[in-house]
A and B are shown apart, each in its own frame.
Chain A
Amino acid sequence: MLSRVAQNIYWMARYIERAEDTARIINVNTNLLLDLPRSMTFGWLPLISIVGAEQPFFKKHPAQTDEENVVVKFLIGDRDHPGSILSSLACARENLRTTRDTVPQEAWEQINGLYIFARDHLPTRRGRFEFLRRVIHGAQQVNGMLAGAMSRTPAYDFVRLGRFLERADMTTRILDVRSADLLPRPHQPAALAKQEQAQSQSGGGQIQSANAVQPEEQNPFESIQWMSVLKSLSAYQMYRQQVRSRVGGPDVVKFLLQDPAFPRAVFFCLKELETCLRNLPKNAEPLAAIDGLKQRLSAAAVPELAHAGLHEFIDDFQIGLGELHDLLAESYFMQ
């Protein structure tokens, strides 16, 4: 298989997944805001740093506006933001256009149609939910068509490598929406808040508080908020089947990071990447990197993470995923 074709297919799948997951991120934030009392709102700006788009956003909006309309418009339809839903769909289409013979005709038509839909129907606030729903469904249809009509050759492995690497990354970003640093909780004990501050400023070492967090102390909205995170990942039902107790932060973080069976959980994504790589040549280094990532996931102290340090952990893990991409590129895309 030609490196160029492999690379195009891989990016096509990444961009489709990115469009879908960006839609999910916007949905989770919308739902969170609806559930919270006005006094607790934290606005929209955090989404910009979660998708790592500070640079293009602040260039365009130097006033760092926090307005819902501005931020959401930027995430959905801004062509200057390479990660916007519209840009992602355009890139998916462009990558596939040059290698159309590799995927079934229907999948090309679906991707082409999805891009044209997004381009022509950029939503207002009222139509937003329906628009995002269609983007998510459209991306799922592409996945279904590829699963149902593509031979299991290396081309399909590259589709899945792109999809699951992007998904692992985006699931951690969605979790990040709810992570401690970005969502201050009013009932948080003062000592813990200070500790977090100190860690993020000086690298820690001053106050090693043994102040374990009391689950009972979580605020009355906590459960609802975690439920919307689950729902935005279509994970609520599967989570309930697995975890019977009340929906709480530590359990949700554990489920979305470490569950081996739920297809949007990070651990599951890594297992999929592993399976694909075993079919491919020159896989030693990327496989070793995946192994390292899996170990980091398993070793994560999940209950504590849910209250402190989740953002740092996720940041760090995302860098690991970036390195995995570089290894894939080195093995397969460049020579």
Chain B
Amino acid sequence: MVIEWQHYAASGSYDELIDHRTGPRPAAQALCEYLTSLSDEELSERKTAAELAILVMGITFTVYAEGASIDRAWPFDIVPRIIPKREWDRTDAGLRQRVQALNLFIDDLYHDQRIIKDGVFPAEVLAQSANFRPQCVGVNPRHGVWAHICGSDLVRDRDGTLYVLEDNLRVPSGVSYMLENRVVTKRVFPELFEYQRIQPVDDYSLRLYDMLASLSPRPGDQPTVVVLTPGIYNSAYFEHAYLAQQMGVELVEGGDLEVGVDDGVYMRTISGLARVDVIYRRIDDLFMDPEAFRPDSALGVPGLMRAWRKGKVALANAPGAGVADDKVVYAFVPQIIKYYLDQDPLIPNVPSYLCMREQDRHHTLANLDKLVVKPANESGGYGMLVGPHATPAERKRFAGLIQQNPRNYIAQPTLALSTSPTLCDRRMEPRHVDLRPFVLSGPTTYVTTGGLTRVALREGSLVVNSSQGGGSKDTWIVDTEGL
């Protein structure tokens, strides 16, 4: 395909692979040359091969439509997104710093709350937090870690600066797609892996298993680890099954587990009850244990919180970790890092206006047409107002919502999300992307090499969620030093 990079639209966004004045960036040079060397037919053959591989490998996600759940093939773009290793090393360090501070913060909130006593974090924010769980006060999870698996969303603004957009500390998903995207890309472009230094991503499941095993309350024994899923109707069921399979552990549902009279957790097997040591739970706090939380939950295990509080079983992520997964708490992360680590954040936050502060609220209400407004506790892109794209009626509705419950909203400037070349209908076009790396915290910390790049496949769209028309790409960390 002849790619005229100078005609590749300059939308005013930063492009991950192409500098609109000088052409391909150094780390993307080899890829761009290679793509140019392929004919249109060859390229579209590769695209078909990738789609076929996805179908055959059965990579799906579940969407709800008309009351039935359907498995859909995972939308994938074959052109990888590339990050130079040198830049990634800085990001890696920034993520470690951030997750370490967040874990210290959660642990503090469930113990002495020093950060509140020292006046750094306002008590009223905690008082109104939807994800603070009084049931967790005083519990000491192993290694002092609460958020064992964290997925932080990174975005790049027009000047090239990388920001953290949000931290997912409850049940972040997407890592299986990151792994499968690499498998597909290797099948489609094997040549590119031969003479470039593309950092591997494959060891995630091993690292995940090691981290989970290290949480076992019965050290010494070979621990029994399980993945707890809400079941096939969950949109991430594919990932739950995938990770269980990759780690070689059982995929269980709430009904497979019970808490015994000794407060240990057991799974029902054909040989009888078998003790479970570590549960990688992919069920939200509130559905986990009908005794402790929502009594109407049919997904959970009665008594699970009791077992966890007594230290009979480890839960990852720990219940209550979501307290730091709140858009208002997010705004305080730079202060949180400073307070616990006495360091400046290596990756900046997107500047945020807290509607609970009078001055910020006035600013937000006066600039609703320029800002993005987000509720404190939603994920998946739901319940947001994207000011510049909203109708006056929507803006008016949000103004009302903010005044009713200011604690529940923050506002941020609209970022011009970076783009990356994407094969659209036989043409290379810029599409907006974000990046979700995953951080594992146990006795040591592990950061995925790159992460999951999500792409908004519709022209001009900024929404990357798979439930709303997003797809994904492979993400390459390329070492160009000394080549």
Contacts and interface: CB of A to CB of B under 8 A. Distances in A.
Interface of A: 1-4, 6, 97-98, 100-101, 105, 154, 280-282, 331-332, 335
Which among B269, B270, B272, B273 has the highest number of chain A CB atoms within 10 Å? B270
Given A4-B268, A282-B271, A331-B270, 19 more contacts: A1-B269, A1-B271, A2-B250, A2-B252, A2-B256, A2-B270, A3-B269, A4-B253, A98-B231, A98-B232, A100-B241, A101-B241, A101-B251, A154-B270, A280-B270, A281-B270, A281-B272, A332-B270, A335-B273
Interface in B242-289: 244-245, 250-253, 255-256, 267-273
Contacts of B251: 101
A105 B58 contact: yes
Contacts of B268: 2-4, 335
Interface of B: 58, 231-232, 241, 244-245, 250-253, 255-256, 267-273
Contacts of B269: 1-3
B181 to A, nearest CB: 20
Contacts of A1: 269-271
Nearest to A332: B270
A331 B231 CA distance: 25
Which among A4, A105, A331 has the highest number of chain B CB atoms within 10 Å? A4
Interface secondary structure of A, over-half rule: helix
A4 B270 contact: no
A256 B255 CA distance: 41
A101 B249 CA distance: 12
Contacts of A97: 232
A331 B272 CA distance: 8
Contacts of A332: 270
Given A154-B270, A335-B273, A4 B255 contact: yes
B256 A3 contact: yes
Contacts of A98: 231-232
A98 B245 CA distance: 15
Contacts of B253: 4
A2 B276 CA distance: 12
Contacts of B252: 2
20 contacts: A1-B271, A2-B250, A2-B267, A2-B269, A3-B256, A3-B270, A4-B253, A4-B255, A4-B268, A6-B270, A98-B231, A98-B232, A100-B241, A101-B241, A101-B244, A101-B245, A154-B270, A281-B271, A282-B270, A335-B272
B272 to A, nearest CB: 7
Contacts, number: 41
Contacts of A4: 253, 255-256, 268
Nearest to A157: B270
B194 to A, nearest CB: 30
Contacts of A3: 256, 268-270
A282 B231 contact: no
B272 A282 contact: yes
A100 B71 CA distance: 13
Nearest to A1: B270
A97 B232 CA distance: 8
Nearest to A155: B270
B234 to A, nearest CB: 12
A312 to B, nearest CB: 35
Contacts of A101: 241, 244-245, 251
B56 to A, nearest CB: 9
A278 to B, nearest CB: 14
Contacts of A100: 241
Contacts of A335: 268, 272-273
Contacts of B231: 98
A112 B272 CA distance: 32
A331 B269 CA distance: 10
Please provide the 3 A-B residue pairs with the shortest distance between their CB atoms, ordered closest to farther: A3-B268, A281-B271, A332-B270
A94 to B, nearest CB: 10
Contacts of A331: 270
B248 to A, nearest CB: 12
B74 to A, nearest CB: 16
A6 B58 CA distance: 23
A100 B229 CA distance: 14
Contacts of B232: 97-98
A160 B269 CA distance: 18
Contacts of B244: 101
A103 to B, nearest CB: 13
Contacts of A282: 270-272
B62 to A, nearest CB: 12
Contacts of A105: 58
A1 B270 CA distance: 6
A281 B273 CA distance: 13
Which among A3, A100, A101, A105 has the highest number of chain B CB atoms within 10 Å? A3
A65 to B, nearest CB: 35
A82 to B, nearest CB: 21
Contacts of B272: 281-282, 335
A100 B271 CA distance: 22
Contacts of B271: 1, 281-282
Nearest to A281: B271
Nearest to B231: A98
Contacts of A280: 270
A98 B241 CA distance: 10
A85 B58 CA distance: 28
A335 B272 CA distance: 7
B461 to A, nearest CB: 33
A98 B270 CA distance: 18
Contacts of A6: 270
A281 B271 CA distance: 6
A281 B232 CA distance: 29
Nearest to B258: A335
A154 B232 CA distance: 23
A154 B250 CA distance: 14
Contacts of B256: 2-4
B69 to A, nearest CB: 10
A331 B270 CA distance: 7
A158 to B, nearest CB: 8
B294 to A, nearest CB: 22
Nearest to B250: A2
Nearest to B58: A105
A80 B403 CA distance: 54
B240 to A, nearest CB: 10
A101 B256 CA distance: 17
A281 B251 CA distance: 21
A162 to B, nearest CB: 14
A105 B244 CA distance: 17
Nearest to A335: B268
